[in-house]
Amino acid sequence: MNKEVRYQDLGHMDYKACWDYQEQLFDEIVGLKIKNRREGTSLSTPNHLLFVEHPHVFTLGKSGDLSNLLVNESQLADRNATFYKINRGGDITYHGPGQVVGYPILDLDNFFTDIHKYLRFLEEIVILTLADYGIKGERSDGETGVWLDVGTPFARKICAMGVRASRWVTMHGFAFNINTDLGYFDLMIPCGIKDKSVTSLNVELGKERVDEEEVKQKLLNHFESLFKATLIREEKTV
């Protein structure tokens, strides 16, 4: 099993361009798995982890409800935002500046074949990172992602998640609010959940800005530890 994970920080990148790149990496891994099965070979499948920051964009998962987007196309344009219906699980979410978005494109045959465990690991990476800042992140029953003050009237989401998996290969991932303009969340019903709010790390810490590079490094450290992976840093190739 190949536990090396090729890591790229893509910086600021258009959502559709990044989605296409994810699909390219995903298809390469799936294609290699099909080749191995068809030809009886055992070629090692690669794993990837992408970090990226997107311009303002709203995305709707394949089981999502379009009515959870509260503005029309013209109003989106007024806010310099775009919209895509995409092939991940989950409902509607927002990506934008000040977020760390993580896309693990992993062959889970290299780690463990359990999607539930995979999602819990992604949540745990963020929970452990929040703990590094003295914040207690939690899971909320039936609601994927990472939350604060679960079970109280002040419950709020700090990290959204939605993934796709086929032949045990994953794509899409998590969106962790660090220095995010939370006003954009008022343009939708986040994840289709009406009675809970959204927050960001800088708000919780009472800081104007949090060092996003520091957050990324903490996330990478916890990713390596939980997945027992070895990260191979690569230069941006797209």
At residue 35, the pLDDT reads 96
Which CA distances in Å does 32 have to 44, 165, 198?
A: 8, 15, 40
174 is in an annotated binding site: yes
- Catalytic residue positions, numbered: 191
At residue 200, the pLDDT reads 98
Give the pair of three-digit tokens for residue 176: 């962790």
pLDDT in tens, 11-47: 999 999 999 999 999 999 999 999 999 999 999 999 9
118 is in an annotated binding site: no
At residue 1, the pLDDT reads 86
pLDDT in tens, 163-192: 999 999 999 999 999 999 999 988 887 655
> 164, 172 in Cβ contact below 8 A?
yes
Q: What residue ranges of the chain have pLDDT lower than 70?
A: 190-195
92 is in an annotated binding site: yes
At residue 193, the pLDDT reads 55
What contacts 60, CB < 8 A, 6 or more positions away?
66, 68, 69, 83, 84, 85, 86, 91, 92
Architecture of domain 4-233 in this structure? 2-Layer Sandwich (3.30)
Q: CA 79, CA 86: separation in Å to the nearest integer?
A: 21
At residue 195, the pLDDT reads 61
User: For the chain, what are the domain ranges?
Assistant: 4-233
What is this structure's pTM?
0.93
89 is in an annotated binding site: yes
Q: CA 49, CA 47: separation in Å to the nearest integer?
A: 7
At residue 188, the pLDDT reads 82
At residue 53, the pLDDT reads 98
188 is in an annotated binding site: no
DSSP for the chain reads ---EEEEEEEEE--HHHHHHHHHHHHHHHHHHHHHHHHHT--PPPP-EEEEEEPSSEEEE-TT--GGGB-S-HHHHHHTT-EEEE-SSSSSEEEE-TTEEEEEEE-BGGGT-S-HHHHHHHHHHHHHHHHHHTT---EEETTEEEEEESTTSTT-EEEEEEEEEEETTEEEEEEEEESS--GGGGGGB-GGG-TT-EE--HHHHHT-S---HHHHHHHHHHHHHHHHT-EEEE-----
Burial class (CB in 10 A: 0-12, 13-18, 19+), 118: buried
